[in-house]
Every structure is written in structure tokens, then in C-alpha cells.
Structure 1
Amino acid sequence: MNLKTLKTYLFIGISIISLGFFQSCNDDKNDSPSRVQLKLVDEIGDYEEVNVVITDIQYNATDSEAGWQSFAPAEAYPIEVDLTELIAGNSLLLTDQLIPAGMMKQIRLVLGDGNTLKLEGDDTLIPLDTPSAMQSGLKLNLNTVLEGGFTYTFILDWVVSESIVESGITGKYNLKPVIKVNAEVNSGSVSGTVVETIEETETVMEGVTVEIYNAEAVKITDTMTDMDGNFLFQGLEAGTYTLKITREGYNEYSAETTVLVGEVTEAGTIVLTAVTP
């Protein structure tokens, strides 16, 4: 066997070993589970409290024959939460779990009994009637391919203002959840602080409604500042947005901000100025 032939065989042998190695790595990656986190946040409404009971959270994978399967909760079922507390960057971790990689088609929130509402200025807890369809599970479409070894965080934005319907005839309140789903892996956030100047001293403003609009001037969502004047928008697609604050007795605030995937854009300190009499 001459030297040229020996080099040829050696090259073929190394190529076969390399292909086998890379195939093995790919197989290991495909066999690795995906980590899924579900976080619940609230889009504000004019209520003192909105208390909901979640008895199960399930997912449906298209390539699985098991059908609907339950997530393990971060704490324990039932999950009882006052949605009005999930503002200004506060969120509730519903689950943090490793599941098989593949297509995740839908998730489903199953609601229990005991959902209640408290109106502003009234300490009375009002029962929220929950339709049987919601108790059997509110389906949310994800249609996301989960790759092995990656973490996927989904933000469930519960729109309280659209989720509570008052019956004009009976005077009862019905709970018909409206929830937006955003993948944090494909989104960014905007944070900031709202203050006012009193006697040349900046004072944080709690309970200020901050709205955010897209480039087409369509309102995306709103939130409210916490006790430290802070606010946070999560799960926003990359692009240019406009922050707006309209508060009685103060001049309207409006400013553009840019959202980048995987980053928190700092809007900084927003100073509201009082309307001059």
C-alpha cells in the first residue's frame, strides 16, 4: 500500500468517526428535555381585588400520544392569587419544569370555585361566576417548537379589564378570562420610575397608570406603578413603542422607546409636572 492510498483510507476513517460523533451529539441534544417556565402577570383593571383559583395547568404536545398532561406547580395546587398584585414587574411563577422536547401546541388553565371580586372603595367580596367551559380549561395557543436543552419562559398576561363582565339584569359578575401569551425568549421589556417634584424634591408616585403603544399608535397594554413608583412591561416584541401617561392635574407625558429582544430597556425617571392653574 503506497503512501497516497494510506492517506486516503485515513481521511475516510476520520470522516466516518467525525460523522458518528456529530450524530451522537445531535441525538443527545434531541433527547434532552426542554425547560418551561410559565409566569402570570396582570394588565390592570378598575378593581380593588380580583382573586382567582387555578386548580390545574396542562399542556398538549402534538407529537405525544399522552394527550393533555399536567405541569407540576411551582408551589402547590390550588394556586390562589389576587391578580391586582401582579403589576409593576411583579409576577407569579406558575411552573418551572423539564418536559420532553418537541412541539407544544397549547396550554390549558383549569379554574376552580371561589373566585371573587372586590370593587374599589368597598370591602365586600363579590362572587365571580365562572362558566363551566372555563372550569374545564381555558386553552391558550402556543404552537412553539421546544428544542432540547433550551429554556422557554412564557408570560401569561391576564387582561382583567376584559375578563370581568357585569350582568345588567342580575347584577352578578362573570369571570371570562382573556389572557395574552408572549414568549420571553422572543421579546424584551421596558422599565422606568414615575416621580413628581414637590418643593424641588422628587417624590415617587404610586398607582400611576402607564400605557404603551406600538408604532401604529395602537395601545398594546398598560400597567401601574408600585409603591416605589416603578413600572415594568414584559413580553414585548422588538420595535419602537410610545410610553404615555395621562393623569388628572398633570401634563400629559409621551416618549418613544425601543425594545430589543432579550433586553430590558430603561425608560429612566419620568417626571410628571403639575398643570399650572
Structure 2
Amino acid sequence: MMTLKNLALGALLLGATSSLTSCYETDGNPNEGKARLQIALTDDPGDYQEVWIDVKDIRINVTDADDQNWTSLPGVQPGMYNLLDLVNDKDTILADAEIPSGRISQLRLVLGDNNYIITNRGEKLMLTTPSAQQSGLKLNIHQPVIGGIINKLTLDFDVAKSIVEAGNSGKYILKPVIRAVLEAVGGNIKGFVLPDTVQTAVLAIRGTDTIASTYTAAGGYLLRGIEAGTYSMHYLPVDTTFLPLVKDGVTVTLGQVTTVDTVRLQKK
């Protein structure tokens, strides 16, 4: 059985490390005008040992204009990625950022020059990129991003179709064929704890597992990206003159925000 001490430790660890734990505005109101956008990369298998791409930037556009309004996405993780490490439903996060909620019209995946393959014979062959794509491969998205939840845009890279041999020259061209899939990931839990002057650890627990946690700010809290299901909410006040409290049966629905009734802490 999980003790109060273990729960509090779990809250501290998750509050420091979990990518699903949310921050709250200093006035205690969740920043619902913002949408959390994750860009993930995955791959369909190809007939090579390795396929490396050099990711430099990801830019988004909320308009249909091709020549303006492009903005680099905050939180991009540039670097070298072996696409063949990302097969069979594996993916990696290229960016994790908060952006204004609304609509994404277009996205550009900007690659550097260090793209190459390792053939099944162990040869390293550099991939050239057509000049038309040097400003970034443009993908049309035209979908809304919803405030208050995690929106995950998966770039499904088709290696077999993306690498083309240029005649009999022995040169290979990288012409990325990518399918973009945008989906909501989990739902949110928000609520309020009184007295609002007492900072309280808030944990969403399923079975014996602490799924997510945060601390209240001015009484308010928000947990984002929680898998759909039913949770037990544990409230652990930092001020130990107040009793901890548990609220069972909190249901999370995909793509929605579950508002928990206000919790009132009691003195010992």
C-alpha cells in the first residue's frame, strides 16, 4: 500500500520530471488560451540498415500564406535522427511547446545537409535534398489545436518512398514523403483547493500508480494529458496541520477537461 510519505515523494518527483505535469498562472487560473503541441516523428520500414536525417528546425504557419507568417516552434530538439529506430509504433518527440490555441495551417520540417543512409552492404551514402525543399519540407495541416490539452502531431516518414536513386549515378535524393496525423492526447483535470493559502500536492492515482501530479497555486491546479479512465485524486497539504484528502471516481475523457468539485481541507 502506498503511504502518505511515498505519495508526497511521488508528487515531488513527478512535479519535477513529468512532461505531463502542467504549470499554473500566478493568479491561479489555468492558461486555457494556450495549446500544448507535441511534434513526434515515426517511420515506416525501408530496405536499409540506417537512415539518418539532420533536423534543424520546425516552423508553423497559422495562415495559408506561403511567403510570410512562418514562426519557429519553441522547444524544437534539433539533431540527428535514425528513422529506422522509429518503426513498429515507436516515435520520438521533436518539439514540445505551448502555442496559442486555434488552428495550424502549415508546417515546415527544416533539414540540414548531413542526411545519409547506411545500405545493407554497410556503405554510407549521402542524400541530397532538392533545392525546392531547402527552405523546409512544407506539410499542409489545416486542423485546430485545442487549448488546455496536449495536441500531438505525428510525422509518419515513409522511408521506402522518400529515398530515390538518381538514375544510375549512384547518387540518392531525399524527397520526404510524410503523412501528418494530429490527435488529442488524453484529457485534463482541473480544480480548486481551499484554503487557497495552503499549497497542496495534487496526485492523480490509478490503482497503485501515480499517473501525474502538480502543486496548487493560489488554490488552483491543472493536470494535462491524462489518459482516459477513472482516477483517485489525492490532496496532500504542505502544511501538516491540515489533513490529507482523497476524492475517488474522477473520470477523464479524451480531449475534454474534467472539473473536480472544490476541495476543502480540514484541520487536524
**Normalised-by-shorter TM-score class:** 0.5 to 0.7
2:183 corresponds in structure 1 to 184
- Cα deviation for residue 74 of structure 1 reads 4.7
- Cα deviation for residue 141 of structure 1 reads 1.1
Over residues 158-205 of structure 1, what are the superposed CA-to-partner deviations in whole Å (9 max), with x where a residue is unaligned?
00000000112312110000000112339xxxxxxxxxxxxxxxxxxx
Question: What secondary structure does 1:171 align onto?
Answer: coil
Q: TM-score, normalised by structure 2?
A: 0.54
2:131 corresponds in structure 1 to 132
Q: Are residues 163 and 32 of structure 1, via their aligned partners in 2, closer, same or farther at CA, if it must alter by over 3 Å?
A: same
- Cα deviation for residue 154 of structure 1 reads 1.0
1:148 corresponds in structure 2 to 147
Tell me if the contact between 2:127 and 2:174 (Cα under 8 Å) persists in the aligned partners. yes
- Cα deviation for residue 46 of structure 1 reads 0.5
User: In terms of Rg, which structure is larger?
Assistant: 1
2:63 corresponds in structure 1 to 62
Tell me if the contact between 2:64 and 2:106 (Cα under 8 Å) persists in the aligned partners. no
1:42 corresponds in structure 2 to 43
Matches of 1:163 and 1:129 in 2, distance apart?
12
Q: Read off the aligned partner of 1:185 and give its amino acid letter.
A: A
Matches of 2:151 and 2:43 in 1, distance apart?
20
Q: How does 1:18-167 map to 2 (within 5 A)?
A: 32-62=33-63, 67-75=69-77, 77=78, 79-120=79-120, 122-167=121-166
Tell me if the contact between 1:115 and 1:127 (Cα under 8 Å) persists in the aligned partners. yes
Matches of 1:166 and 1:73 in 2, distance apart?
34
Matches of 1:149 and 1:46 in 2, distance apart?
41
- Cα deviation for residue 96 of structure 1 reads 0.8
Task: Mark the runs of 5 or more structure 1 residues left unpaired by the alignment.
Answer: 1-27, 187-260, 263-277
Computed over aligned residues only, the root mean square deviation of the Cα atoms, in angstroms, reads 2.6
Q: Larger helix proportion, structure 1 or 2?
A: 1
Question: What secondary structure does 1:133 align onto?
Answer: helix
Over residues 52-107 of structure 1, what are the superposed CA-to-partner deviations in whole Å (9 max), with x where a residue is unaligned?
1011100001299x7111112453x3x21010110123211011110011121011
Matches of 1:30 and 1:53 in 2, distance apart?
34
Q: TM-score, normalised by structure 1?
A: 0.52
Matches of 1:164 and 1:91 in 2, distance apart?
20
Question: What secondary structure does 1:45 align onto?
Answer: coil
Task: Mark the runs of 5 or more structure 2 residues left unpaired by the alignment.
Answer: 1-28, 186-252, 255-268
- Cα deviation for residue 146 of structure 1 reads 2.0
Q: How does 1:222-233 map to 2 (within 5 A)?
A: none
Q: Are residues 158 and 63 of structure 1, via their aligned partners in 2, closer, same or farther at CA, if it must alter by over 3 Å?
A: closer
Relative contact order higher in (CA < 8 Å, ≥ 6 apart):
2
